[in-house]
Structure 1
Amino acid sequence: MECLLTSGVGSACLRPGAGVGVSAQGQWRRAFFGSDREVKLRKCWSERRARRFATSASVVEYDVVIVGAGVIGVATAHHILTTTPLSVALVDAREPCAGATGAGQGYIWMTHRKPGTPGWHLAKRSKALWETFAMEVEDSGLNPTEALGWRKTGSLLVASTDEQAKYLQNWAQVLSEAGAATDFLTHLEAVNMEPALATGCLTAAALCHDDLQIDARLTIDTLLQSPVQHFIRSSREGRLIGVEIPEGKVFGKSAVVIATGAWSSLLMKTATTEWGMSLVPPMKPRKGHLLVIEGTHDIQLKSGIMECEYLSYNSQSSKSTEATTEPGPSIVMTATLDPNGNLLLGSYREFAGFNIDVQDEVIEKMVERAARFLPGVSNMEGRVRTGLRPYINDGRPMIGPVDDVPGLIFATGHEGSGLCLSLATAEMVTNIIQDVKGPVESAPFLPNGRLSSSTM
């Protein structure tokens, strides 16, 4: 049987034994950070894994094609290439880290996750892999702080009511018993630790000592110095609709991995309209704003700070696997400093389709919210990043194969946790491709039973 995907400017086909291929009709080019050149492998990587790209060929074949060059796609390519002999083509319509990852704050945190849940186990494994990766970067002669923006800041959950303070006292014990060392701090202890905090609003805090922070853009840069052969991306801005190059077809013998984040539902609906199959993830883009205040401010923070309300949001997102209603717009204060001393303020979430325009009224509300805890930000100005988080209503990312289409693997739906969960996701996808059982149970994240024939 032959299945044909049509996507407006090109077509792709699935053939038994032939993997997945896409024929080119649009104007696409291969590039590495915008340069029309082939990227040669560094000598420190095994050149036996390299397969040179023949510009005159009408068909190019790889073992794995990964669609999406956010942190999930890049991390998956990196893991496959450094742990297996498989070749990889990594494809996107824009530059790396152009979506939610590049607009985020870089948290590798356990503090807001519920121990014992599938998401907790995935995050715990991923955090351990990030720590290993940082050591490998250091062993290679690089400074992890410079190469990754790596900092062991810990995370500070802050409460503004007596009720929240009691909750944090219990939460600190729950996290500690689960292996994430966390101390409950009184109002005075929290202010002594972080003098920038407002004394009037704060009632208590919880410090999770081992939480980490990295810079997403620096990290993507470092991962791309691995043996990913080259990028293939659109010569024009636009949504990702397939794996297309002007030279011909790109085939993935073993798998095609969909790591397109917030665009995954749109891609699958567009590409599988004529199949008559349920292959569309129940996903919506969820817009976020991040305010970046340049390093001329006077606010100094030792830890990453998150308002206790964030726990309520996280609990609501993952409480039910049968959620039918989507949450409304919400603002929860998060604050941290990046490696350059810039103050990063979040966090806003709303459903606005694929619109990524900056909303001045949202920024005003974010600053107003942050000023309750950090009064020094009231009169500050900065630049704004916006991005689209891949929201799934049951709170679980979608990772794994689709029974009805051999060779198709999803790695999407991580919403605001893509950076944190990326390395464990990459490991899980690699294990699935090789049919190897991994350290984290994959069943809760599998696509089967969660796909539909139309977008939500």
Structure 2
Amino acid sequence: MFTSDSPDVIVVGAGVVGAACAYYAARHGLSVTVLDRGPVAGGTTGAGEGNLLVSDKEPGPELELALLSTGLWHELADRLPERVEYEPKGGLVVASADAGMKALRDFAAAQATVGVTAHEIPADRLADLEPHLAPGLAGGFHYPQDAQVQPALAAAHLLRASGARVRTGEEVTAILTGPDGGVRGVRTRAGTVRAPRVVNATGTWGGELARLAGSHLPVMPRRGFVLVTEPLPRVVRHKVYAADYVADVASGSAALQTSAVVEGTPSGPVLIGASRERVGFDRTLSVEALRRLAAQATALFPVLAGVRAMRTYAGFRPYLPDHLPAIGADPRVPGLLHACGHEGAGIGLAPATGLILARLLTDAEPPLDTGPFDPGRFMPGP
């Protein structure tokens, strides 16, 4: 039984995707309660670099989602406090040989047909963008639409701006349903919260929440490490990565893969990623992953060879087999909607995901075709 105190929607997950869902749902006139078993941004969001990328995505549904989010992040940057560190600094993708440049050229040409801006940078002009890059590279492409944000702060300020009631430290232990099988709320260890709709924004744990409702999403964790250097002058101006990063993002391999992504931050430290491997929720430090990242980063920026790494941290990307997130209504459980499985792109794709969910929750037209993200694509047949 719903009461006057019952929210219109419960968002489970206080990471950046859940925060964006709460923000846009509130802007569409809905009352929202956000629940999380940990703190705000305590999962994948807090372990992210804050990438807002179009440069690593080929034409298709994910790139369309990323381009929509790019515009929304620009709008949010004007509404959220400056300390979320939104920085439209652009990305630089470099190639070590002519064959790599040809591949980048073909990739950029395909992206241009759907609205991505990319500028070819010949080898003798790379130093204009990044003076500390290694010599001898074949060239690269500059992507001015790439940006960065401080993800934990962005999630916190989106939640604050939403006006949602946020309840942390409350683990959802059951999805409550009525006689018709539709959602009636959730049960937590602290009690029951009633609402006619629930949004699953639990990231890597999205499959677990789906199972609580009697549904199915094959979300798996994909572990990654980030190295953080001591504070430095701005020796890296853009988000810089080698061409093989794009292939690693698209790969479904469970084995360890590393391809350096190097970027400076407004506060000084340089962030070095990215590694990928499917090892469950094992947080064991991988010396091999860190060794590879350090070697690849110093190959791109020799100046980093004499810099101290102050710390490292691990996170789990929510991986789905087709590399597309699940965004939309659950076909088995009326009132349950999913917003998870974004892998390493959740921070960048969060605003578009939140806007789509808000439109679906209010029976309004979504801003793009949601068919490719339909959670039902993973449901087994009858």
Give the structure-2-normalised TM-score.
0.90
Cα offsets for 1:146-194 (capped at 9, x unmatched):
3320111110001122210111223333333432221111222113321
Query: Does 2:141 correspond to 1:206?
Result: yes
CA deviation map 1:320-368 (0-9, x unaligned): xxxxxx4421001101112202100000011111122332332122101
* Residue 103 of structure 2 is aligned to residue 159 of structure 1: no
Q: Is the 8 A contact 1:281 1:452 kept in 2?
A: no
The residue type paired with residue 80 of structure 1 is A
**Residues 168 and 64 of structure 1: is their aligned pair in 2 closer, same or farther, counting only changes over 3 Å?**
same
Indicate yes or no: 2:210 matched with 1:265: no
Q: How does 1:70-81 map to 2 (within 5 A)?
A: 70-81=15-26
The residue that corresponds to 2:132 in the other structure is: 196
What does the per-residue CA deviation read over 1:55-111, in whole Å, with 9 as the maximum and x for residues that have no partner?
xxxxx6221011111111011001111221x21110011111112221111111111
**Residue equivalent to 1:32:** none
Partner amino acid, structure 2, of 1:314: V
CA distance in 1, matches of 2:117, 2:270: 26
Q: Is this contact kept in 2: 1:262–1:413, CA < 8 A?
A: yes
Return the offset for 1:265: 1.5
Which residue matches 1:393? 321
What do you get for the CA RMSD once the two structures are aligned?
2.2
Find the counterpart in structure 1 of residue 369 from structure 2.
441
Alpha carbons of structure 1 residues 409 and 363: separation in structure 2 relative to 1, 3 Å: same
In structure 2, C-alpha distance between the alignment counterparts of 1:314 and 1:354, rounded to whole Å: 19
The within-5 A match list for 1:343-422 is 343-379=270-306, 380-422=308-350
Q: Does the 8 A contact of 1:331 with 1:366 survive in 2? A: yes
1:172 is matched with which residue? 108
* Alpha-carbon separation, structure 2, partners of 1:69 and 1:434: 21
The more displaced of 239-248 and 351-360 is: 239-248
What amino acid sits opposite 2:44 in the alignment?
A
- 1:221 Cα shift? 2.5
Describe the SS at the equivalent of 1:110.
coil
Q: How far has the Cα of 1:376 moved from its partner? A: 2.1
Partner of 2:121: 185
Within 1, Cα distance between the matches of 2:294 and 2:123? 22
Please say if residues 196 and 299 of structure 1, whose CA atoms lie closer than 8 Å, have aligned partners that are also in contact: no
Q: What do residues 240-286 of structure 1 show as CA deviations (whole Å, max 9, x unaligned)? A: 64554566310112x111111111123333x25xx5xxx22111100
The match for 1:423 is 351
Identify the residue that residue 301 of structure 1 maps to in structure 2.
236
Correspondence list, 1:232-251, <5 A: 232-234=167-169, 241-242=173-174, 243-245=186-188, 248-251=191-194
The corresponding residue for 1:337 is 264
Separation of aligned partners in 2, 1:356 and 1:160: 33
Partner of 1:69: 14
Aligned partners of 1:350 and 1:127: how far apart in 2? Answer: 28
Q: Output the amino acid matched with 1:92.
A: D
AA aligned opposite 1:433? L
Say which one has the larger Rg.
Answer: 1
Q: 1:98 to 1:357 in 2, by over 3 A?
A: farther
1:119 match: 62
The 2-side partners of 1:267 and 1:205 are apart by 42
Q: Which amino acid aligns with 1:71?
A: V
Answer whether contact 1:398 1:411 (CA < 8 A) is retained: yes
Gaps of 5+ in 1: 1-17, 22-50, 52-59, 318-325
Residue deviations 1:350-399, cap 9 Å, x none? 11111223323321221012111111222422211211100011111001
Aligned residues: 369
Gaps spanning 5+ residues in structure 2: where?
A: 175-185
Any idea what the Cα deviations from partners look like across 1:179-213, whole Å, max 9, x if unmatched? 2221111222113321211114x221100122211
Residue pair 1:258, 1:412 contacting (<8 A) in 2 also: yes
- For the 8 Å contact 1:100–1:387, the answer to whether it is kept is yes
- Report the secondary structure of 2:160's partner residue: coil
Larger proportion of helix: 2
